Amino acid sequence: CPGRSGDRGNPFCTIVSLNMRCCIWSQGIALWAEYFYPSSMYISEQNEEGYSMSLLLLWSSPNRDGLTAAAKEALLTGISRAGTAYEEVQLNQCAVLACRACGDGWGNCHARGECVQHDGFSQLYLAMQKAEGIVLVTPVYWHDLSENLKCLLDRVRRCETGHNHFLRGKPCLLTACAGGSGRGAVECLRRMEETTSHLGMTALERLPVTRFNRSYMLTALCGAGEAFALWLQRGKDGSA
Is 55 in contact with 172 (CB distance < 8 Å)?
no
> 3-state SS of the chain: helix, strand, coil percent to 5?
40, 20, 40
Q: What is the pLDDT of residues 128-172, one digit of tens each?
A: 999 999 999 999 999 999 999 999 999 999 999 988 999 999 999
Please answer whether residues 132 and 173 qualify as being in contact, where contact means their C-beta atoms are separated by less than 8 angstroms.
no
Asked if 87 and 57 count as a contact pair (C-beta separation under 8 A), the reply is yes
Query: In 3-state terms, what secondary structure has residue 175?
Result: strand
Q: Are 136 and 173 in contact (CB under 8 A)?
A: yes
pLDDT band at 36 (very low <50, low <70, confident <90, very high): very low
From the list 192, 41, 178, 185, the residue with the least C-alpha distance to 123 is 41
Mean pLDDT of the chain: 80
Is pLDDT above 80 for 173?
yes
Separation CA 211–CA 98 (nearest Å): 30
Report whether 43 contacts 72 (CB < 8 A).
no
Report percent pLDDT > 90 for the chain.
65
What local confidence, expressed as pLDDT, does residue 51 receive?
A: 42
Mean pLDDT of 195-219: 96
Cis peptide bond upstream of 62, omega within 30: no
Q: Is 33 exposed, middle or buried (0-12, 13-18, 19+ CB in 10 A)?
A: middle
Is omega for the bond preceding 139 within 30 degrees of 0, making it cis? no
DSSP structural state of residue 192: H
Rounded Cα distance between 162 and 43, Å, is 27
d(CA 42, CA 236) in angstroms, rounded, equals 27
pLDDT score, position 27: 30
Q: Which of 152, 143, 148 is nearest to 176 (CA)?
A: 143
What's the whole-model pTM score?
Answer: 0.77
Return the minimum-mean-pLDDT range out of 18-22, 116-120, 175-179. Answer: 18-22
DSSP bridge partners of 14: 42
